[in-house]
Amino acid sequence: MPELPEVEMVVRGLCPDVIGRTFTNAVINWERQIAPLSVKAFSERITGQRVEQLSRRGKYVVFTLSSGALLVHLKMTGRLYVSLPDQQDHADRWVRAIVGMDDGRELRFSDLRKFGRLYLVKHAEEVTGNLGPEPLSEAFTLERFQELIGHRKGMIKPLLMNQEFIAGIGNIYADESLWLAGIAPRRGADTLKPGQIEKLYHAIRQVLQQGIENEGASINWYRKPDGSTGSYQERFYVYDRTGQSCPRCGDAIQKTRIAQRGTHFCPSCQV
């Protein structure tokens, strides 16, 4: 599933093509992927809407419209891209929604697994209101992170992936952050010492920024809007490196399951 860096790259890639454009029509091929409106209501409401701004909130792509907002969650296999009506793309075989624009091009949403969602709402906060802070924002200070962890119980990895705790971190960047901070993924959040919390805070921001600088990790379905791949998968510390040497201590990286997610870690230098 695309995480904060991947969604950020989708937003950056789409901005030149959609900001200032007006939506002229919509064709929905899989009605269960739109919410909370019917297909008819969705098509009627989005027609004539101008894209004033494009941004990211957590793992959501947020189109701020002249009236309301369109939010897209890519989930596992979702892709957003812009094409001419007669232009064919590999992802077109799974197109679930097409929104026409006033320059003659189309904003397309492709999703093989059909888990992605499009939300057309009056206010973006109707969808994002429960999300935690943005980990790369100026407001996300070390002091704020310390307050958030407080005396939270439970394993640290599932906590990092809890979108109401921090927005945008998923399986990849949780594993990478915990390795960089030297913290075992099963470690209880309430057992972390102040120094470890500080290391984790800086590790989270570092790996997310590295993910953005390398244009995301294309290990499965993630592609930028132009169809090209990111390169962060070539720089993983532990994720998807089971059996390979730990970059820090040389021990073999192991994989286990935590909260039903594959989890990669070094058994020697993550404590």
Listed in order, strand segments (DSSP E) in the chain are 23-28, 34-35, 51-57, 60-65, 69-73, 78-83, 95-101, 106-111, 117-121, 254-258, 261-265
Percentage helix, strand, coil for the chain under 3-state DSSP, each rounded to 5: 30, 25, 45
Strands 117-121 and 34-35: parallel
Q: How many CA atoms lie within 13 A of 77 on its CB side?
A: 13
Catalytic site positions: 2-3, 59, 261
Fold of 4-128: N-terminal domain of MutM-like DNA repair proteins (3.20.190)
Fold of 142-265: Helicase, Ruva Protein; domain 3 (1.10.8)
pLDDT in tens, 227-249: 999 999 999 999 999 999 999 99
In which residue are the tokens 């991947």 written? 6
pLDDT in tens, 159-206: 999 999 999 999 999 999 999 999 999 999 999 999 999 999 999 999
**Using omega within 30 degrees of 0 as the cis cutoff, is the peptide bond preceding 85 cis?**
no
* pLDDT number for residue 221: 84
* pLDDT number for residue 63: 98
The rounded distance, in Å, linking the Cα atoms of 118 and 41 is 13
Q: Which residues of the chain have pLDDT under 70?
A: none
Find all residues with CB under 8 Å of 138, minimum gap 6, and list them. Answer: none
* pLDDT number for residue 151: 81
pTM: 0.97
Domain spans, the chain:
4-128, 142-265
